[in-house]
Each structure stands twice: as structure tokens, then as C-alpha cells.
Structure 1
Amino acid sequence: MDVAKKIIPVLLVSFLGMVFCYAQGKKKSKGDDLFFQYEYQKAIYAYEAEMASGTLTEQQFLNLADSYFQTNKFEKASEAYLELFKKDTLMGGHHLNKMLQSLSKTANKERRTAFMTTMSSRFQKELLENMEFNVQLLQNDAAEPGMDYRIFNLMGNSPQTDFAPAFYKNQLLFSSGRVQTKRNTYAPGNEGYFNIYQSQLGADGQISSVQPFREVTDSDYHKATPFYSEELSSILYVLSNTENGNLAFDTNGKNALAIGKQAIGGSFQLLLKDLSTSFYYPFYDGASGKLYFSANFDGGYGGTDLYFVYTNNGQIMSAPINLGPRVNSPGNEIAPFVFENSFYFASDVFYGLGGMDIYKSNMEGDGFGIPINLGKGINSPDDDFGLIMRNEGEGLLGYFASNRPGGKGKDDLYGFKVDEKPGLKTLTFKGKVVKSVAGSGTVDKAVIRLMDTDGELLAETYSDEEGNYRLEIPWKEEVVLESTKERYSVFSKQFTEEELQKLENTTYDIGIALYDDLVEEKEGQKVVKLKKFFFDKNDVKLTAEIEAELDKVVAFAKNFPSAQLRIETYTDSRGGSSTNFRLTQARSDAIKRYLIQQGVPQATILYSIGYGEDKILNNCTNGVFCLEMLHQQNQRSLIVVLNDNVLFDY
């Protein structure tokens, strides 16, 4: 079964089929009528006949491309989408995703890669990062054995559509299109309106005693995708919009799905309703009070996106908030589920294994990590969606829906047991790149790299306008983190496994130094920026004040190890000339010894020179009376950067 026949569409297939019969409007062609009734194969025959005898509009040609896609004629679909793409009309992100899916399902994967390379500017940065990560991940998954999933088809499946499992105390709820009475059938799905069913759970994970769930308000139309919230003691689910017991339509003749909350043993409350917007798959996170769901709002990233609203004990307290491009794609995202700080959902984004695949994203405060395809086993070349799980014994028990071969119906429920939480463990570095010296501030456009201990690049990114960065890779026991920017120092640190474990779910700020913050122009040469310091009279001993300033030189040499330094020391004109030369030379040598003791390589300090009173800066020469403050202007030590003019030549 294709995506357009499940809850984004399975639920829509029914009433959208009726919608276009119900709505009054512009006369359509035979192909249009069949297309909007989801009779895709018949629509193909009609559109092709109309194309042979005349010209299809661009919208009708797009409908033909979609019909090819829905009937698994991916070669023809890709060619039609590409033809439309060349005209640069009608092809939004959602149809670009279908085009790329079509290319992936044919022998044209290289063509897809070439297309992505040339058109990368049209895609969100996060989408490209997600794609690169998952392509590499699935290649590794194909080469290595995955997790040991013990997957089984549920005996309670029917020949119709069964999907959207949910735990309810010691039972399993799910949605089904199984026919109960002729009154509850509809076209074109040729099955019953979706209803919620309950079943007993056995110790082996199988279900029994399947019967309609009586805790929700009765309806002649759709009730589906239940979620039981223990905190709210309520069932959340989607239902057809109705008025006075009949389907309710918007001004365009469209019927959509709402989200309702049924208190167990209590009253019903409508939570989210818009006659022109369908809502799907509610999930209430009791820890945060957020109600997650899928919806097809205008202005999203693709078909259906994932959203949340803040609630107060289940009462809606905010407008819907899109989860953003790290989670949402040009495709369809549905079925959110939170388990142990991981966010699971299904997506038909083009770089997966098949139609709908299940992904896991680490929850990072209000953000999300890269969604990770769960790989073979849970996912297949067909549609897999609606995953739930819980701890059971020494492992995990979970369920999902799939239309993979070997099932009993259109979509079947599957159970699985596994020893550990599904999803590859990843390593995430995130935080800010900041200036490490000369005051606070962030650094934008700095490169950040993760490498293995052999120097092989694992991932690379750049900090944004506010200095933020984020890198995520499959788990490594040891990595090297590096960062730099032109005229900045290079940060480099190797992390052990123990250090990486401590970094989980925390931020890590990277400090790099701007060269121009650390140097200044003095006496016609570039010197390390220091506060002026003085030796005691006729003394060469370094005071604590002097050492504090020299520590800045130590940091400078560490930040810029290629710098070549010369130490210059001067005195005033008082005293004998030869005595002053010896005194300043001893002071320069004392400075050099301290710097080397603090870790500055000896090769970095090319010279340490005492100039005595050779370079007097004012009129305080021999025999001239001057105030002490004027004499002190001539007492100075400079750390000169000899290769300043070539230090950043690459």
C-alpha cells in the first residue's frame, strides 16, 4: 500500500473520495475525476488518452506523474517529474521528494545523486546533513549485521488495513478498516470506516479477543490512531469532522480530521479542529506537557509535518509549533512517539529504504539530533510506520505497522522484541565557538571538524552567526575535535571514551583566539599585547605581576605555535651604559627562562636581547632631568613577533 492510502491518506482516501463528488466547481476531465477518486490506474489510462488526443495542462500532467508514482510505475513517474522540473513550475518540495523517491526506486540512483549535487542550494542545510548521515549509515548497515529484532505478525490482523498500535494498560489498541456492517463501508477504500479496536496482550506479545473499543464516543465515520495518556487518564485520537451527525466540509468541499480527547469514563473534548486542515497521530508527552501530532498546514516543509502545542493538563495553550527542518522534510512525517528521551517517527523522505521508514532522533532540550533510520528489520523496502515500545522483562516489546510482503491484509500490525533500544548510538558535539582571549564574544564561520585518531575526517561544519555549531556521527570511542578560522588559533583536543560518555546531553564550547586581539603595533613592529610591567630597581627577578603578564605570552605561543619571537628589554638613561646593557640582557634571559619553563618551545624564541639605554623614547637622555614617570616610559620589555608578515601565508 502506498503512502496515500494510510493515515495520510488511509483516512483521507475515504472522505476525499467523497469530497470531490460532493464539491461543486469547475468541470474536470475524466482523468481528473478518476485521479481525485484515487482510481490511479484508471486515471493513467484516461490522462494518456487525453494527452494523445490533445494537450494536458501542467496540473494534469503533474496528476499523471503522481498517478504513476502511486501505482509504483517509478520509471515513468521520474521521467514525468523531471520533465515538469525542467519547466520549473508546480514542483514544490513535496513533489521534488517524490521525484527523488522515484529515481531511488529505479536504476537511476546515480542520476538522483547528480541531481542532488547540482540542486543542493534548493534544499535545507539540515536535509542535506540528514541525507549524508543516513546514506552512510545504511551503507554500513548493509555491510554489517544489525540489531537482533525478533519480529512477528499479529494473529489478530484482518484482510483490511490494521495500523497505529497503542498501549492501553495491559491491552493493545489499534486502528482498523475491517468491515463490521455494510453501513460502515465507503469507496474507494472498499473497507470500513476506520475504528479503534482493543485486544488482550499475551506474554508472547501476541494479541487476542479483538473487539471494538467502547471507551470513545460512537461515530459513523473515522476514529483512528489512538494514544492512551496515563497522566490525563484519556484517549487521544483523530476523528472525522462532523456536524449534526454528518460529515462537515469547508468552503472548498473538503472534509478533514480533528483531534479529540476522551476521558476514560468521562467527557469528550475536541482539541484541534480546522475544516481545511487534517490532524493525525496525536501523542501526549506527560513529562513536558507537549501534544505532538502530524498536520498538513500550508507553509510546512513538505506534505505532512510534525508539530506540537503546549498544554496545561491537556488543555491547548499555544499555537502549533513546527518541529523544524531537522525533523521535517519535503516528504511526509507522521506518527510521533517519545521513549526514554528519544523521538521516533515515520517519514517517506527520499533517502530511506522504501516508502515510509521509521527514524529515531535524540532529544536535545528543545532541539533534535539527526533522525537516524532504524535500518533493516524494523524498516523494509515497503511502508513501515507507527512504532511504539515499552520495557518488558530484560528487553523491550514494541509494535509497528507495515505493508511488507507476507502479511494478512493491506497494512498489518507487527510485534517485535529486542534486547536494547532501537537506533544507532551516536556521538554529538554541540555548543558555541567563542573567543578564548581578549574578552567574551562568539565566532561565526569557524570550521569545526571531528576526526578519528588516525586523522581521517568524520564530519565537518561551520559555526553560525551566533557561534553555534553541531556535529553528530555514529558512536566512536575516541575522536579528535578541531576548530579554527582565518587569523584565529587552532583548537585541537583528543577525547577518550570516558570523556565522551560525560559529554552526552551537554554542550561543549570551543575557545579559539583571534591573532589581532593578542598583538599590537609598537615602535614600528608587531608585539604581543601586554600590560606594561617593571622590574625592581637594578633587579632581574620576576615578580608575580611580571609572571602574570608573561603567562599571556605562554598562551599566545600555544595558540600560534608557528610564531617566532624575540625578547627585547630596555632601561632608562640613568646609570652606566655598560651596566644597563648587562641588566637588560639579564632581564631578557630571565623572561626567556620563565617562558621555556612554562612550556614555550625553545625554538620559538629566536633571540633574547638587552638593549640597555640605546633606544630612549623621549628626551630623558644622559644628564637631562626628568620626572620618574618619564624615565619609566623608557623601561620596557617587548615580545616581538618576527614573522608577523608571513604567519598566515598558506
Structure 2
Amino acid sequence: MNKANNIRLAFLAFLIGMVLCSAQARKSKGDAFFFQYEYQKAIVAYEQELVNGTLSEKQFLNLADSYFKVKNFKKASEAYLELFKKDTLMDGHHYNKMLQSLSKTSDKERKEAFLSTVAASFPKELMENMDFNEQMLQNESKDSVTYKFFNLASNSPQTDFAPSFYNTKLLFSSGRDQDKRYMYAPGNEGYFKIYESKIQPNGQVTSIQPFHKIAKSKFHQATPYYSNKLNKVFYVSSNTEDAELVFDSKGKNALAIGMQAIDGGFQLLLKDLSTSFYYPFYDDTNGKLYFSADFEGGYGGTDIYYVYTSNGQIMSAPINLGPRINSPGNEVAPYIFEDSFYFASDVFYGLGGMDIYKANIESEGFGIPINLGKGINTEFDDFGFVIRNEGEGLLGYFASNRPGGKGKDDLYGFKVDEKPGLKTITFKGKVVKPYGRNEAVAKAVVRLKGTNGELLSETYSDEEGNYRLEIPWTSAVTLESTSERYSTYKKQFTEEDLQELANTDAYNVELSLYDDLVEEKEGQKVVKMDKFYFGNSSTQLTPEIDSQLDKVVSFMNAFPDAQLRIETYTDSRGGSSTNFKLTQGRSDAIKRYLVGQGVSATSILYSIGYGEEKILNNCTNGVFCIETLHKQNQRSLIVVLNDNVLFD
């Protein structure tokens, strides 16, 4: 492969707007070569300027990027690290290149040290994605599917990529047009055009010809996607005016996205002379148009966005898919199949350059993007994944520059019996208090454990109580959660439970705060209850009393290590011995009810009737008091004896 033309690692490589002519004079030969994608020549020029002492920090960053482009990862990592030490121009996108370079040089310790330094600047979702994928790739053989791959006989010595289904045909992009009048200088091949082919029963394609259903252009037309619902094709094209290229103030010609009705008119949808748009995908189910773009303010290089449309007509500003999908690297080629979102990324924890990932589509976002693993992905660039049901299995295509192909990038087909991508279990929802208004519990730890008690995954709820855990599929797990001075939640899930969970939008975890359920009374900590009264001279529980004692049951379910003493008191009316006997009977009735509701009898250390021993007011023997004052002395308390050591 010609290293000077290797602009595909960032992938905008294939399509990125060309600097065929520059509106501004370059300050150095290195800059001139760099901005024309001639990276090997740029390296020679920049290294000479470095010796001469005329290389700026920005140009030194260009030199580092040039090393990266020609796959001299040792020098790239050294240059990036030097810039990082100066704390100057490095950003998340360059951190990604730095980490990729260290991965390529097998410098694991240096990579981990650098990652620990910059991890705080990455979104937490990125680090969760990394941990999950590293775990998954280590255990890939346990869950891998069997693919039947084949290189398409129609591949050319030039670039062939971006497969897309068009009824019974396959569309793709290629630089095979060798018309000398219209050559794309950085790639040393023709401008990319869209071709169509017939899909054969074995997945191979025949009858290759230019796709004549779209308007002709001398320049780039590529990455098509056909919407069956609209009967329209979305694709990218060079920005032109009066059939000629147009440039921004810096001499850049970017790529736009248009929509072509089959045998109908063309409409320009997304255009910005300084911003390139890539890989449109139209979701027939909801009218969203997905694409990649290099907008400022993204998470890295190219991010994936979507816009709302009405039959393809754009109705909203671009919306970034967020840090669960987008990374400090480049994300391209979105594709949806059966509630799974496929795309390609060169994020640093992958297998190579661009890897293909799959994320489950959830009600409010996406699951963790999962690397499809070895086979489809290699240490080279793999991207542009499409798939559909075919007979009793599935048929798919993608592009790759792996060794053994016919050109710079080749199209590969595959057949597979089951849907690619690891099956996972997702727990998500809120951690809340089970009483009142279900107030959120922040910073609660939530864990998933295996059948042997091993920790599978762990997270903490955010300020709104939200939590999310995702693990590779297993037949049984235990979900646990707690927080300081809160109860502990623990529940086991069988395989049947997990199947049902997959059909739910959220699974909330309930934690009770100890301090919400107890209060100080008469100099001791007691379980909170509304005051209740027994009938005159009665030890029988009433429904009203039961409802209050149920609060004790809930308390003990939340804090089973609590030790209780039941105390019951009455007023001064009646004989002293009679009152002792009455209150003891009431305390025993309370204990029987609590034990009957599942409270362990060993947790109730004492059940005592105190009679009229502790009068709270002046209504002692022989003193006349109104009924309201006498009732102040009639009470039952559930005392927490180990309150001071319960959380030690």
C-alpha cells in the first residue's frame, strides 16, 4: 500500500474534501505536503524544518499525525508524548491516536500509564465501554459466531467500499473510474462513484455497472443508502456550483449529503463548505437521518449525528449521539438492523484501525458498543457493515483493507446463521427510596454478581439516581445495591427472569435511608410510627394498629440486623398489676404480629409491658385528667437497641 496515500485510518480519508488548490500560501513545504495528504513527503520536510529550528508546535503536531498516517507508530507515540508533556495542542482526538500508537508498538505499560493520566478527561461512558470490550475480547471464543467470508470477485485494484442494499442489488462506492481528466490526487485514482451489481444466491455480485438512477457528476458521489419506504437514495457528493468544485476560505472542498428520488429529482440536504458529511443512513421506522460529520465541539474526530426529517426533508438541527457511541476517535458508517445499531470506530481499545461495533438500541439511548470481534474485525480497517435476513440465515457485507484483497480496500461478503454481536444483559433504571415520592438516591453502589459471588460489574447512581450496568449474557446473576446508612438491596435473577428483564424499559432499585425510618423518643431511637391505641382493656390488634406495625416490618426488611425491644405503656387508671398485665399482653400481641409477618423472633430481644410505670405528664394516680391527657400515656414503642453500632 502506498503510505503517502494512506488517509483511511481516520476514514474521512476516502471522502474528505480535497485541497486541490490552496487559497493561502503555505508557511512551509511540510505544511504543503501535509494538507495535500502526502504524509511521507511531509515527514521529510518537517524533519528538516525541525533540524533548522523553524518548526512550530502546531507543525510538530502535524509531524506526529504524519507519522501516525504512515503507520510509524513508534515515532508517532514519541512525538505525541513530547507534545503532551508541554501541555499544548493535544486534545482527546490526539490522545486517541497516542493510545493507538502505543497499542501498535505493544508498549502496554506505557499505554496504561498514559491512559491513567488522561482518563479523567474522558467521559465515564468511554471508560465503561473500554472495560466492557476488553473483558469481552478476552472471552470472545466463548460466544463467537461462525462466519462464512468471501472476497467479492467484482473488487478492483482501486478503492471499493460502502456496500448498501438496493432491492435485489448491491450498491457500492469505488474509485475504479480511471478517466485521466478527473483523477482524485490524494488517492491517485478516480473520483468515487456509485456502482450497482446483482446479488447472486451465493452472495457474490455480478453485472457491475455505474448506478444511473442519480444525477451525473464529475466529482465524488459515494456511500449510498437506499430507503425502500421513500424509494430514494441518500449519498454524499463534492460541493459544486455550476458543475465545478467550490472551496471555503481555506481552500477546502468538503462533502455534502443529498437525496435522490429514483428516476426523480435531487435535493441537497446537508451542506457546509468547511464541514464534511459522511455515510448517510435513513431509518424508515422513525424518519431519522443518521450521518457522520466533523463538527467542532464533538467528542473526537468524526462523530455520528442524526436529524429529524419529514420524508427526508430535514426538520431539526444535528443531534450528537453522545459519548456512549462517539469517542475521541472517529465514528462512521451508521446502520440499523433489528434494534441493533452498527457503526465503525477507530477508538484506541479496538483491534486495529477501524473496527465494527454493535450497540443495542434502548428507549432513551444505546447500550455499550460491542466490538464484533476477530473475523469481521482485524488489525486493519474494517467498516461499512450492512446485513439483512436471507433465507434461513443472514447475508452481510463490509469493506476492509486487510491483506489478501485485490485493491486498496475491498468489499467482503459473509453469511452467518445468527445475528452478529455478543448477547448482553442490561440493568438500568433508578435507585430510589420506596416511600414518599420515590426520591432519588445518589451515589449508591450497584453491583452484579455471578453464581459464585464473583463481581461481574459495578457502578454508582448519579445525582438523579440513574444507574446502568451491562454484562455479557449469563444464565443467572444477583443484583445488589447499598449506600451509607441505607438498606441493602439484593435479588437473584434466573434465566427466565433475565429474559423478562430484556422486555422492560427500566428496573428500579429501592433503598431505604435509616434516618428516614427512625426518630428520637423518650431518649432512645425508635422506629417511626403514627400513634395508635388499643381498645379499652384490650390486647387485640386492629387494622389501624396492623398498618402501623407494617412500618416495623418494612424497617426490619430493610435493616435485618437491627435488634428491637417492644415497649408498651398505659395510663394510670386501673390497678397497677392489672396495667402491667395488660401492657405485657399488648407487647406480646405486637411481637406475634411482627414474627407472623416475617420478622425474625431472634431480632426481638425484649417484649415488655411497663404498665403505668412511665407517666409522661401529671396524670398520676388520683389526679383528675381529661381523656386527651390520659391518652398521651398510652403508647407502644419499638426501640432499636443497637442503633449506635448498626453501621460500624
Whether TM-score is above 0.5 comes out as yes
1:438 CA displacement: 4.2
Partner of 1:16: 18
Q: Hey, what does 2:325 align to over in structure 1?
A: 327
- Please give the secondary structure, in 2, of the residue aligned with 1:17: coil
Amino acid of the structure 1 residue aligned with 2:295? F
Match of 1:486 among 484, 487, 499: 484
Quote the Cα distance in structure 2 between the aligned partners of 1:70 and 1:137: 29
Alignment of 1:549-568 (within 5 A): 549-568=548-567
What is the match of residue 525 of structure 1? 524
Give me the whole-angstrom Cα distance separating, in 2, the residues matched to 1:107 and 1:167: 39
1:366 Cα deviation (Å)?
3.2
Shift of residue 22 of structure 1? Answer: 2.8
What is residue 131 of structure 1 aligned with on the other side? 130
**How far does the alpha carbon of each residue in 1:192-219 deviate from its partner, in whole angstroms, 9 at most, with x for none?**
0000000011000000110100001100
Task: Please report how far the alpha carbon of residue 495 of structure 1 lies from its aligned counterpart in structure 2 after TM superposition.
Answer: 0.5
For 2:590 and 2:22, the matched residues in 1 are separated by 91
Code of the residue aligned with 1:600 in structure 2: it is V
Tell me: CA distance 1:5–1:590, structure 2 relative to 1, closer, same or farther (3 Å): closer
Secondary structure, in 3 states, of the residue corresponding to 1:86?
Answer: helix
Q: Take 2:613 and 2:142, find their aligned partners in 1: how far apart are those partners?
A: 73
- On the 8 A contact 2:19/2:252 being kept in 1, the answer is no
AA aligned opposite 2:284: G
Give, in whole Å, the separation in 2 of the partners of 1:148 and 1:450.
29
User: Match for 1:604: what amino acid?
Assistant: S
Pairing of 1:273-292 with structure 2 (within 5 A): 273-292=271-290
Quick check: 2:10–2:330 contact (8 Å CA) kept in 1? no
TM superposition shift of 1:285: 0.3
Q: Over aligned residue pairs, what C-alpha RMSD do you find? A: 1.2
Cα distance in structure 2, aligned partners of 1:249 and 1:180: 24
Residue of structure 2 in register with 1:465 after alignment: 463
Identity, in percent, stands at 71
Equivalent residue letter for 1:576: G
Q: State how far apart, in whole Å, the 2-side matches of 1:472 and 1:188 are.
A: 43
| Cα pair 2:22 2:250 within 8 Å, conserved | no
Match of 2:596 in 1: 597
User: Which residue of structure 1 lines up, in the alignment, with residue 227 of structure 2?
Assistant: 229
Tell me which residue corresponds to 1:153.
Answer: 151
Map residues 154-553 of structure 1 onto 2, 5 A cutoff.
Answer: 154-506=152-504, 507-553=506-552
Select between 554-563 and 345-354 the one with higher mean Cα deviation. Answer: 554-563
How far did residue 608 of structure 1 move?
0.6
In the TM superposition, residue 598 of structure 1 has moved relative to its aligned partner by 1.1
Q: CA deviation at 1:118?
A: 3.0
Match of 1:577 in 2: 576
C-alpha distance in 2 between matches for 1:153 and 1:256: 31
Structure-2 separation of matches of 1:268 and 1:363: 31
8 Å CA contact 1:438–1:517 kept in 2: the answer is no
CA offset digits 1:504-548 (Å, max 9, x no partner): 142101111011111111111110000111111111111111111
- CA positional deviation for 1:435: 0.3
Report deviation, 1:176: 0.1
Q: Which runs of 5+ in 1 are unaligned?
A: none
**Does the Cα contact within 8 Å between 1:237 and 1:260 map onto a contact in 2?**
yes
Alignment match, 2:61: 62
Distance in 1 between the 2:9 and 2:555 partners? 64
The CA distance in 2 between the partners of 1:553 and 1:366, in whole Å, is 38
In the alignment, the residues of structure 1 paired with residue 508 and residue 495 of structure 2 have an alpha-carbon distance, to the nearest angstrom, of 19
CA contact (8 A) 2:443 2:461 kept: yes
Separation in 2, partners of 1:7, 1:75: 21
Does 1-10 or 527-536 show the bigger shift? 1-10
Amino acid at match of 2:23: A
The one-letter code of the counterpart of 2:177 is V
Output the CA distance in 1 between the equivalents of 2:521 and 2:436.
18
Tell me if the contact between 1:557 and 1:563 (Cα under 8 Å) persists in the aligned partners: yes
TM-score by length of 2: 0.98
Amino acid of the structure 2 residue aligned with 1:332: N
Q: Which residue in the other structure is 1:119 paired with?
A: 118
Structure 1 residue 349, shift from structure 2 partner? 0.2
Partner of 2:642: 643
CA contact (8 A) 2:214 2:263 kept: no
Letter aligned with residue 215 of structure 1: K
Q: Which moved more, 1:197-206 or 1:105-114?
A: 105-114
Q: CA 1:51–1:439 in 2, change beyond 3 Å: closer, same or farther?
A: closer
- CA contact under 8 A between 1:124 and 1:325: conserved in structure 2? yes
Q: Letter of the aligned partner of 1:16 in structure 2?
A: M
| Pairwise CA distance, 1:5 | 6.6
Give the secondary-structure state (helix, strand or coil) at the position aligned to 1:480: strand
- How far residue 110 of structure 1 moved from its aligned partner, in angstroms, is 2.1
Moved beyond 6 Å, runs of 4+ = none
- CA 484–395 in structure 1, closer or farther in 2 if over 3 Å, else same: same
SS in 2 for 1:22: coil
Task: Provide the TM-score with structure 1 as the length reference.
Answer: 0.97
Deviation per CA, 1:228-260: give whole Å up to 9, x if none.
001111000000000111101112221100000
CA distance in 2, matches of 1:298, 1:382: 27
Equivalences, count: 643
**Equivalent residue, structure 2, for 1:50:** 49
Task: Write out per-residue CA displacement over residues 329-351 of structure 1, whole angstroms, 9 at most, x where no aligned residue.
Answer: 00000000000000000000000
Given that 2:388 and 2:394 are in contact with CA atoms closer than 8 Å, whether structure 1 keeps it comes out as: yes
